[in-house]
Structure 1
């Protein structure tokens, strides 16, 4: 009997090992469509640019357009190594790497960017920059934009520009029809003081959590709602569990392009 079990275990192991290459080959690269059409191996400099979300969203795909434009304008000297999908970790971790210079650039969500400088969180205050007209005015008015863009210089961080990813609302496992319904939800919010202050002012329950931890937290019931944009929730399949969406439009979802100034000045 023991010999039979050993033989069976060996057979199972052999089958698993034989199947592994096929499974690996069948696994699709989610970023295959965005591979560069040039060989970056000869670049003199490399600029690692991080982002937490998926480039199928136009505001995130901008990272690849930056890569291609910089490659062309630098004549192949500078390669922007764009890393979306949280390849380098959660945003708070990447901000720490950015300050150290281990990462040279980051398209940080505006909520997370408030951890770099308080003023960067102003765009996430409810109903301050909540429409495209307000956003255009904010970006194109030097009196508004310059103090915002310069607010992180004391931390060694430059603000280059912004891109968008929709307007904020609530994805929840139960419908939210009014404030009383909302008070029954434990919302996941980003690791940002501006969000925590907002939810405290609204009198709502919340859990601060890195974005990569959200899928498991939703599945296990640690949270039953999240504060994000509809397009991000749809693309990242949050609606498979949190099937209800409340369109609040209280803020624009923005990615702020942060650059390590020490690297830039070299």
Structure 2
């Protein structure tokens, strides 16, 4: 989508949405996913809490209703939408430090440690949150959506198996660096083009959480699923900064409480979600193979991740190095609270 097309689209959306501007108590929440997927479940719980504890209402706009990720972020910056999901893979171009969420083998794999980390990390909730106002935004929440898996046309047990594979990534330089380091040919594509590109053989692989692979039927156009343990998909909930600044103390407290309630709910909701999604895929396509790489098989991928870490520091500079060190300290604290050595 060109900048002109996006601008026209945003203008049309603003005109349409502003028609109800007299109803100031209706807040709009745009998603990068469908209403039945993780972001939709979070937004629904957020909506329920806001509507139960205030006179305001929330209108949820699922993926595609107002465009793709870049479009809904822009609409939020413009104030046509009050809340939106804006995953680091897309926001990283505006806030380079956010690319840390795309680095392989940085986030903890233990779900309890991961949940505590997102909720308590000063690096996320203070340092990174402090980067959003320059974009006309405020960070409301950040949460995990599940372990990322690779889905490919051919089986993958080592970087050599990715040699020559055109692997779709979000439009992020760090994801490009990651899959190039893993041995593939990283191919940035908007999400709306991925299924067709796999179907036509223009690309041969992609990554996403298992629930998303199942719900979007990515398994129909790939044949192998690989757990490499390299990352967890992260999303952020953002709000228009001017909107948040204009809220009363009472309304801001409602928003924060709604985010807290939705966070706790979505963490519990995700328990067993990967396993159930995998079972649905195998029921629909029994010939699909699922491979969980051993520690030995993961070793060369981990080694390749060192190159990505260096790239991140080069891209972001001293602030990136500080964020990386902050992550390491915050994760260590979360492990200690979870009783993990």
- TM-score w.r.t. the length of structure 2 is 0.61
**1:59–1:163 CA contact under 8 A, matched in 2:** no
| Shift in Å, 1:42 | 9.7
Q: Hey, which of these two has a bigger chunk of strand by percent? A: 1
Corresponding residue of 2:89: 111
Q: Hey, which of these two has a bigger chunk of helix by percent? A: 2
Q: Pick the aligned partner of 2:25 from 4, 23, 45.
A: 45
Flag the structure with larger Rg. Answer: 1
| Shift in Å, 1:120 | 2.0
Deviations 1:169-223 (A, max 9, x none): 2111221122111123111111223312323333420211111111211111111
Corresponding residue of 1:192: 172
CA root-mean-square deviation: 2.3
| Shift in Å, 1:145 | 2.9
Within-5 A mapping of 1:1-266: 44-75=24-55, 78-131=56-109, 132=111, 133-266=113-246
Displaced runs of 4+ in structure 1, greater than 6 A?
Answer: none
Q: Which runs of 5+ in 1 are unaligned?
A: 1-39
Q: Which runs of 5+ in 2 are unaligned?
A: 1-19, 247-341
Deviations 1:60-83 (A, max 9, x none): 3010111111112222xx222111
- TM-score w.r.t. the length of structure 1 is 0.77
Alignment CA distance shift 1:212-1:144 (3 Å): closer
In the alignment, the residues of structure 2 paired with residue 94 and residue 41 of structure 1 have an alpha-carbon distance, to the nearest angstrom, of 18
Query: What is the aligned residue count?
Result: 225
In the alignment, the residues of structure 1 paired with residue 132 and residue 117 of structure 2 have an alpha-carbon distance, to the nearest angstrom, of 21
| Shift in Å, 1:143 | 4.7
| Shift in Å, 1:125 | 1.2
